[in-house]
């Protein structure tokens, strides 16, 4: 047979899914899933975060476009958000027709995308986990800027600049920022929870008087008056209180 009909074949859903099931033995062990929103769209997974999206012309009624017009394309996308295309420039071709050797041709295309992914897997995995990048960058810039004296820490300045330039942080960088914020909150809470114990101040005053510690006596008296008035101690008050306790062993 010659002409168009001799070059093209019809591909049923069973044909396609049988081929997809066999991919695990051909270097794609992470399996595939079908996009439930589209009849002919499948995700061949490369990692926890990245997949190759295969868009075919198989419809719900198993009918295809005319053999010569039917085509399939493949794109590197986020596995979590399949509409997010991760690379628009590295296609080896725009689409793949349903020729008789489609299994070989399509496998070559998958290998092409796998190679692209493997060369920069950390980069692709990282950007694939963030759906709204603009909001992401705004949120993390705000997190950094709430850290006291962040601009004096070179690594935080570097993270801030990366976000400002439109890039995404890596998970270990995010964890470091969260740890700094958490530690800062603990420190603040600890400072807030420092209260001036009036009875303890009285005992310290007696010891200071017996040792003729005039400066200590004056400061303890000031702290005692503040404590009985109910005023909130300042950071310096808290520091002096801790220092006096340490000095007098209380």
Task: Quick: pLDDT tens for 148-184.
Answer: 889 999 999 999 999 999 999 999 999 999 999 888 8
From residue 74, how far is each of 22, 99, 199, 223, 249 by CA, in Å? 18, 16, 76, 73, 73
Same domain? For 161 and 77 the reply is no
Same domain? For 115 and 141 the reply is no
Q: Which of 97, 128, 159 is the last residue of a domain?
A: 128
Q: What DSSP string describes 27-82?
A: T-TT-EEE-TT-TTEEEEESSSSEEEEEE----TTS--S-TTT-EEEEEEEESSST
Same domain? For 215 and 140 the reply is no
Q: How many domains does the chain have?
A: 3
Dist CA 131 CA 179 (whole Å): 23
Same domain? For 58 and 21 the reply is yes
pLDDT at position 11 = 82
Same domain? For 157 and 74 the reply is no
Q: At what angle do helices 214-229 and 198-210 cross, to 10 degrees?
A: 160
Dist CA 8 CA 97 (whole Å): 8
pLDDT at position 70 = 53
Helix (H, G, I), strand (E, B) or coil at 97: strand
Q: Which of 192, 208, 238 is the last residue of a domain?
A: 192
Same domain? For 36 and 102 the reply is yes
Same domain? For 116 and 64 the reply is yes
Reported as a single tens digit per residue, the pLDDT across 21-46 is 999 999 999 999 998 878 789 999 99
Dist CA 174 CA 219 (whole Å): 44
pLDDT at position 4 = 47
**Domain boundaries, position 43:** 4-128
Same domain? For 137 and 112 the reply is no
pLDDT at position 189 = 58
Same domain? For 32 and 94 the reply is yes
Residue numbers of the chain with a pLDDT score lower than 50:
1-5, 61-62, 65-69, 192
List the one residue out of 76, 11, 19, 88 whose CA is nearest residue 43. Answer: 76
């Amino acid at each position: 047979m010659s002409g168009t009909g001799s070059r093209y074949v019809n591909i049923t859903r069973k044909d396609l899914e049988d081929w997809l099931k066999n991919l695990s033995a051909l270097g794609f062990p992470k399996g595939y899933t079908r996009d439930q929103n589209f009849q002919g769209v499948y995700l061949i997974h490369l990692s926890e975060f990245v997949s190759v999206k295969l868009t075919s012309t198989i419809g719900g009624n198993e009918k295809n476009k005319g053999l010569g017009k039917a085509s399939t394309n493949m794109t590197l996308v986020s596995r979590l958000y399949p509409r997010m295309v991760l690379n628009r420039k590295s296609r080896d071709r725009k689409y793949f027709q349903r020729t008789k050797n489609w299994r070989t041709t399509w496998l070559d295309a998958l290998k092409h995308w796998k190679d692209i992914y493997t060369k920069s897997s950390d980069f692709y995995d990282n950007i694939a986990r963030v759906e709204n990048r603009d909001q992401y960058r705004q949120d993390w810039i705000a997190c950094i800027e709430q850290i006291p004296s962040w601009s004096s820490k070179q690594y935080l300045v570097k993270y801030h600049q990366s976000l400002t330039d439109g890039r995404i942080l890596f998970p270990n960088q995010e964890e470091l920022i969260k740890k700094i914020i958490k530690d800062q909150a603990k420190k603040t809470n600890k400072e807030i929870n420092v209260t001036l114990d009036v009875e303890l101040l009285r005992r310290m005053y007696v010891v200071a008087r017996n040792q003729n510690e005039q400066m200590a006596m004056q400061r303890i008296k000031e702290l005692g008056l503040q404590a009985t008035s109910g005023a909130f101690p300042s950071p310096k008050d808290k520091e002096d209180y801790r220092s006096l306790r340490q000095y007098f062993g209380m």
